[in-house]
C-alpha cells in the first residue's frame, strides 16, 4: 500500500506527520512518498502543484494533503493546488462528516455527512475582469452532478443512512442549481429506500445553525458545500476536529477541512485530530479497512473523554506532539 504525503503549508507540516504516524501504527507496511505543494512551494520554485507531485499522487492513488494558504489577492501564475489536485485526480466528491464528540465545544446528537461536489461551480475560480466589470463563471454540468449524486446515494446506502437533503438556490439560479437539483433527483429514483428532500442554501444555513441534529446527509454544489461544512464543523467541536475525504474512481485524498492556520503555525499547538480522523476515512472508504478506522476513532474518543486535547478545544490543553503520543499509544494498546 502506498500513500503520497503532501503536508502543504503552515500547520500542515505539524498535523500531517501525526496522521501518518497513526496510519503507520495500524498499517506497519505502509509505503510513503513525500511531495510538495502549496504557497510555500510556489514561493520556492514558482509552481504551487509541481508535475512531480502530481505524478506521485497519481502513482499512489491514496494521498494525504494537509493544508494550503492561497493568497487573498491575484498572484500571477498561482492557482490553488488543492483545487487543482482534486480536479486532476478526478476526486469528484468531498465527503465531510460531523459527529458529536465528548467535548464542551461539541453539541450532542449530531451525526451528519455533507457530500460536496468537488470539480466545478464557482469554486474553480474561473474569473475575468477588465477592472470595471469582474465575472466568475458558475459552470454546472449534468455529468458531474450525476456523478456526485451517485456517490452520495451509494455512500448513504452503504452507511445505512435514511435521508439526503439536496442543497441549491434554484429559485434564483434555475439553470445551474436547477440542473444540479434535477440530476440529484434523477439518481435518487434508483434508491427508493432513501428519503429525499431539498432545501434552499440560505434556509439550510439557518436550519443547520438551529437544529443540526435534524439532518442526516446533505448533497451540495461545490461552494455551498464548502461554506455549510465549515458552519457545521463548529458543532462538532471546531475546525480542528473536522475531517474530510475527496473521493474519485482512481484516487482519494484525505484532507482535514481546516486551512494552514498561519496564526498558530510553528507553535506546536495545532489540533491533529482532524487529520487523524481524515486518515480513518481513508482507511474506511478507500482502503476498505473499517476495522482499522474504528480503532483510530475509538482511540480519539477515549482520549477526549479523558480530557486530553489541544488548547483550541480544552483549557489548558496539551501540545500537538503530546496528543499524538497519547492517541498512538492507545491504538498500540488495543492490539495487545
> Which positions are annotated as active-site residues?
123, 169, 202, 226, 230
67 binds ligand GGG (CB under 6 A): yes
Q: At CA 81, angle to CA 75 and CA 82, rounded to 5?
A: 130
| Dihedral of alpha carbons 155, 120, 66, 308, sign | negative
Task: Output the furthest CA–CA distance in the chain (Å, rounded).
Answer: 67
80 binds ligand GGG (CB under 6 A): yes
Instruction: Give the side-chain half-sphere CA count within 13 A for 167.
Output: 30
Binding mask 13-52 for ligand GGG (x = CB under 6 A): ----------------------------------------
Q: Which is nearer to ligand GGG, 13 or 258 (CB)?
A: 258
Q: Which is nearer to ligand GGG, 69 or 145 (CB)?
A: 69
- The interface with ligand GGG within residues 158-217 (CB under 6 A) comprises none
Pick the binder of ligand GGG from 70, 229, 271, 310 (CB under 6 A): 70
Dist. CA 170–CA 176, nearest whole Å? 7
Dist. CA 234–CA 247, nearest whole Å? 23
Question: Smallest gap, in angstroms, from Cβ of residue 68 to ligand GGG?
Answer: 4
Measured between its terminal Cα atoms, the distance across the chain in Å is 24
* Cα–Cα nearest to 277, from 334, 237, 322: 237
Decide if 94 contacts 246 (C-beta within 8 A): yes
**Segment interacting with ligand GGG, rule: CB under 6 A, options 53-61, 75-83, 181-189, 213-221:** 75-83
Pick the binder of ligand GGG from 3, 4, 82, 309 (CB under 6 A): 82
222 binds ligand GGG (CB under 6 A): no
Return residues touching ligand GGG (CB under 6 A): 67-70, 80, 82-83, 255-259
Amino acid at each position: 500500500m502506498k500513500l503520497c504525503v503532501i503536508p502543504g503549508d503552515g500547520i500542515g507540516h505539524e498535523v500531517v506527520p501525526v496522521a501518518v504516524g497513526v496510519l503507520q501504527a495500524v498499517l506497519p507496511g505502509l509505503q510513503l512518498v513525500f511531495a510538495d505543494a502549496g504557497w510555500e512551494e510556489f514561493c520556492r520554485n514558482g509552481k504551487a502543484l509541481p508535475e512531480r507531485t502530481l505524478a506521485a499522487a497519481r502513482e499512489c492513488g491514496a494521498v494525504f494533503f494537509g493544508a494550503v494558504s492561497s493568497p487573498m489577492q491575484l498572484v500571477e501564475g498561482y492557482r490553488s493546488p488543492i483545487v487543482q489536485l482534486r480536479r486532476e485526480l478526478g476526486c469528484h466528491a468531498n465527503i465531510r462528516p460531523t459527529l458529536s464528540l465528548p467535548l464542551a465545544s461539541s453539541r450532542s446528537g449530531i451525526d451528519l455527512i455533507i457530500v460536496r461536489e468537488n470539480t466545478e461551480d464557482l469554486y474553480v475560480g474561473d474569473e475575468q475582469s477588465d477592472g470595471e466589470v469582474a465575472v466568475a463563471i458558475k459552470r454546472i454540468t449534468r455529468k458531474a452532478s450525476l456523478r456526485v449524486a451517485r456517490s452520495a446515494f451509494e455512500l448513504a446506502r452503504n452507511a445505512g443512512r435514511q435521508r439526503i437533503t439536496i442543497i441549491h438556490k434554484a429559485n434564483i439560479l434555475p439553470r445551474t442549481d436547477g440542473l444540479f437539483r434535477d440530476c440529484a433527483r434523477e439518481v435518487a429514483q434508483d434508491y427508493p429506500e432513501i428519503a429525499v428532500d431539498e432545501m434552499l442554501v440560505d434556509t439550510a444555513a439557518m436550519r443547520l445553525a438551529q437544529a443540526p441534529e435534524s439532518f442526516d446527509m446533505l448533497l451540495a454544489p461545490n461552494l455551498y458545500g464548502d461554506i455549510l461544512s465549515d458552519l457545521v464543523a463548529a458543532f462538532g467541536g471546531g475546525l480542528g476536529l473536522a475531517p474530510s475525504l475527496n473521493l474519485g474512481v482512481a484516487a482519494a485524498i484525505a484532507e482535514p477541512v481546516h486551512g494552514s492556520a498561519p496564526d498558530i503555525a510553528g507553535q506546536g499547538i495545532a489540533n491533529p485530530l482532524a487529520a487523524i480522523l481524515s486518515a480513518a476515512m481513508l482507511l474506511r472508504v478507500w482502503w476498505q479497512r473499517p476495522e482499522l478506522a474504528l480503532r483510530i476513532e475509538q482511540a480519539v474518543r477515549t482520549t477526549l473523554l479523558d480530557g486530553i486535547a489541544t488548547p483550541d478545544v480544552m483549557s489548558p490543553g496539551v501540545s500537538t506532539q503530546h496528543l499524538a503520543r497519547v492517541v498512538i499509544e492507545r491504538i498500540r494498546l488495543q492490539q495487545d
